[in-house]
Structure 1
Amino acid sequence: MELPEEIQNMIEKRKRAFSYYTEELVGEQGFIADDKTILLDAVIALSLGKNILLKGPTGSGKTRMAETLSNLFGQPMHSVNCSVDTDTEALLGFKTITQQEGASSIEFIPGPVIQAMEKGHLLYIDEINMAKPETLPILNSILDYRRMLTNPLTADVVRAKETFGVIAAINEGYIGTVPLNEALKNRFVVIEIPYVQGDKLREVITQESKLENESMIDRFVQLSSDLLVQVKSGIIPEEAASIRALIDTCDLAVYMDPIRAVRRGISDKLEEEREKAAVLNIASTLFN
C-alpha cells in the first residue's frame, strides 16, 4: 500500500509512541477488499485525526478493518459493542465501593472511552446505530476539535491524547438499528465496506477457512456471487450473503456434505421458508 510520505511519517510517529506496548495488538493486517482505496483512505483519514465510520452489511469485514488499522498503526484498541442497553456507564465507566485498610471508598473504574482517550489509543464503537439516540450525544465533544468531555459521573474534564482516534461501524436497515443523528454522522468520514467478491473472496476463504479443496472454494465463490444477485433482486435478505457466514460454511464443508453445510451456515439463519429454499436451490445447482 503506497502512502504519501507525510502520512507514512505520521504512522511511524504513532508506532514509536506505542513501542513500549508489550501486549499483543488486537488484530493483524488481514483486511482484504477488491478496492484498494478503501484501506488506503481509512489510513489517511485516521492519520489526519479524522473519525472513521465504516458502513456496510453484516459480515463484510468492518471489524477486521478496524483491527487491521490498529495493527498498521501499532496502536492498541478499546471496543464498545453497542445495543439498546448501552448507557453512559458502558461508555465512560462506573463507580464502585472498594475496601482499603478497613476503610470504604468510592472508586471510578474507567470504561473504554475514557481509557482510549487517556492512553491515546484507538476507540472502536461497533454497531453504533444500535445504541439509543439519547445515549450518543455524550460522544459529540470527543468527536470534534475539542477531543474532550466532562465526565458526568465524576465531574472531571478528560482530554484525549494526540494519538487518540475513533472508528465506528454501522449496519443500516437492520432490526433494532436507528438512523444516526446528523450532528453525530457529520463528525465522521464515511467509508463503505462492500462484500468482497471474485479473486479477493477466494483469497479470504483460503486465508480464513479450513477449506483447501480449490474446486470447492471456486464453487463457494460462485455461491456468494449468486447469493448477492438474489439479494439485489430482493429475493433474500442481505445477511444471507454475509462473508462471515460463508467462512463458517466453508469450515463445515470440510467435514460434511456442502449442501448440508450451506443449510447450517446460511439458510437456517433466515426467517422465511421461501428465503431458505432460494438459498438451497442455488447451492444444489453448484454442489450436485
Structure 2
Amino acid sequence: MNNTYQLPQPIAELLASSKNVDAKQPELIRQGGYVPPSMDLMIDAITALAMGKNLLLKGPTGAGKTKFAETLSNMFHQPMYSVNCSVDLDAESLMGFKTLAYHDNKQVIEFVPGPVTNAMNTGTFLYIDEINMAKPETLPLINGVLDYRRTVTNPFTNEIITAKKGFNVIAAINEGYIGTVPLNEALKNRFIIIDVPYIEGEQLRHLIASTTRLKDNHTIELFVQLSADLIAAVGQGKLSEDAASIRALLDACDLSTILPPKRAIQRAIAAKLEEVREREFVQNIADTLF
C-alpha cells in the first residue's frame, strides 16, 4: 500500500530550502517545538515520514524525542495517538478492549478502540514511546502495521484493519536502561533510525530564553555551561544520562527565578539521581558555577 501523501506547503518549502534551513530554528523555538542540533535531523525525519516510512528516534532521556515527535505531527497537521510501553503492555493496550454497555435498555458488548486502531482508522500518526520496554512477545502483533501492508487483524473482533492514507508511526527508544530489551532485527528493520542528541550551545541558550521564566542573560549562560559539563560527565561515564536531561535543566531554570540556582539544581536535577555519588557530583559542578 502506498502511504505517501502531499506535503503541507511549509514542509515542502523546508525541504526545498537547502541553504537557509537554519533560519527555521527560531521559528520552531517561538512555536515551542523541538529544536534539532542540526536541521539535517528535521529534514531527514520529514523526508522519511513523507515517504510513508516509520521513524525510530534514538537518544538519551530528556533529549527531546517526544517533543520531536509532537513537532513532526504538528508540521504535518496530523493528530497523534500515543502508546506508552512497559512490561505490562498487552494487546488491549494497543488495539482496544471489549466492555459492557447499554443500548435501548439492552445490555450489549462494545469494542472500545485503542491507540493503534484509532490511528489506523483515522489516518493519523501513532507514537510508540519506550518501544524497547515492551515484552518481545507483544510487539509482533503489529508487525503488519509497520510494513508495506499497513494492516492488522484485531484479535478481539477478527476485523482486518487497513490504515487510511496519512497513517504513520514514530517510535522512541532509550537504549541500555533497566527493563529494556534489544529490538529484534525484524522489528528494527521496519524503521528509519534518527539519533537524537542533546542540544547545546546557542540553541540551548535560545531554548532557555524562549521557553522558561529565566531571562537574566548571565544566569542563562551559567545554565548552558552547566549542561555542557553534565553532558561531558555523562560521556566520561561519571554520571548517568538522567543527569544531563534537557527537560530537567529547563525545570531548574524555571525554579531558579524564585529559588537560589544551586537549590533549583538540587531539586530539578540532582535529587532525581539514584546514587549519592552522582548527586554530590552534580552539586559540586553547581557550586563551581554558581
Q: Normalised by the size of structure 1, how large is the TM-score?
A: 0.90
- Name which of structure 1's ranges 107-116 and 201-210 shifts more when overlaid on structure 2: 201-210
Unaligned runs of 5+ in 1: 1-6, 16-27
Shift in Å, 1:103 = 1.0
Shift in Å, 1:12 = 2.5
Quick check: 1:100 aligned with 2:103? Answer: yes
Match of 2:153 among 150, 153, 159: 150
* Conserved 8 A contact 1:29-1:71: no
* Conserved 8 A contact 1:29-1:67: no
Match of 2:249 among 246, 251, 255: 246
Q: Normalised by the size of structure 2, how large is the TM-score?
A: 0.90
User: 2: distance between equivalents of 1:45 and 1:240?
Assistant: 31
Cα deviation 1:167-224 (Å, max 9, x = unaligned):
0001111111111111101100000000000000111111221111110000000000
What one-letter code is carried by the residue in structure 1 that aligns with 2:236?
Answer: S
Unaligned runs of 5+ in 2: 12-30
Match of 1:11 among 7, 13, 16: 7
- Pairwise CA RMSD of aligned residues? 1.6
**Match for residue 34 of structure 2?**
31
Quick check: 1:265 aligned with 2:268? Answer: yes
SS of equivalent residue, structure 2 residue 203: helix
SS of equivalent residue, structure 1 residue 79: strand
Shift in Å, 1:29 = 6.1
Summarize the alignment of residues 92-241 of structure 1 with structure 2, pairs less than 5 Å apart.
92-241=95-244
Summarize the alignment of residues 47-66 of structure 1 with structure 2, pairs less than 5 Å apart.
47-66=50-69
The 4+ residue runs of structure 1 with deviation greater than 2 A are none
SS of equivalent residue, structure 2 residue 141: helix
User: 2: distance between equivalents of 1:213 and 1:222?
Assistant: 15
* Conserved 8 A contact 2:32-2:211: no
Count of residues in Structure 1 that have an aligned counterpart in Structure 2? 268
SS of equivalent residue, structure 2 residue 55: strand
Shift in Å, 1:241 = 0.3
Shift in Å, 1:260 = 0.6
User: 2: distance between equivalents of 1:47 and 1:75?
Assistant: 12
What one-letter code is carried by the residue in structure 2 that aligns with 1:156?
Answer: E
Match of 1:83 among 83, 86, 89: 86
